Structure formats: C-alpha cells, structure tokens
Structure 1
Amino acid sequence: MEQETKRRGRHKKPDASKKKAHQVYATDSEWQQIVSRAGEAGKEISPYIIEKALT
C-alpha cells in the first residue's frame, strides 16, 4: 500500500523534471494539446506551469 502511494506521488522528482522539460520546450500546438487533454481529464493547470510554458 505504502509503495503504491509513493509510486503515484505527485511530487516525485524524476516525473516532475520530465514534465517541466516537456512543457518548457513545448511548441504552441503541443501546448494546446496539453491544455485540452488536461481539461478533458478535469485537472486544473497551475498558473506556474502555464507561466513556465509561456516563457
């Protein structure tokens, strides 16, 4: 049980850095896909991620 929560943990470093890199270097169309996919999944996109992606 404990391991499963750890595996799915939101703030796992490898996953976070992977996501960040993808979002920072994503093209406009890729970013649109990310936004729409997150919207379909009903997840909120944090302002920090949007800021990172736009700079």
Structure 2
Amino acid sequence: MNPGIKYWSHEVEYAAISIITLILLSIVVFPLFIALLPIVLITGCSIVWNMDHLRKKP
C-alpha cells in the first residue's frame, strides 16, 4: 500500500453523513414550513377572531 494515501476515519464518514442528512432535511423541511406557515396563521387568526366575536355577544 502507498503510505502517501490517507484513508478517512469512521468519524469523518459519520460527520459527512450527518451533514448531508442535515442538508437534505433543510431542503425538504424549510420549504414545507414556509408553505404551511400562512395556512397556520390564517387558521389561527380566524379562530381568535371567532372567539373574540363570541365574547362580544350579549
């Protein structure tokens, strides 16, 4: 074997796998969160608005 060739240790391999996993999760999760955020806000505001109207009725 050539002593000039260095092999990666398992720690480097695990770190690379975890970084790739984080990148893939961020590609999937962040757009999903941004897409669902307006729906959650609109639903939450309508629920609060309806509760506010219920409180104002005599």
TM-score category (smaller protein): 0.3 to 0.5
Relative contact order, higher structure (CA 8 A, sep 6+) = 1
Q: Could you tell me the TM-score, scaled by structure 2's length?
A: 0.34
Larger Rg: 2
Q: Which has a greater percent of helix?
A: 2
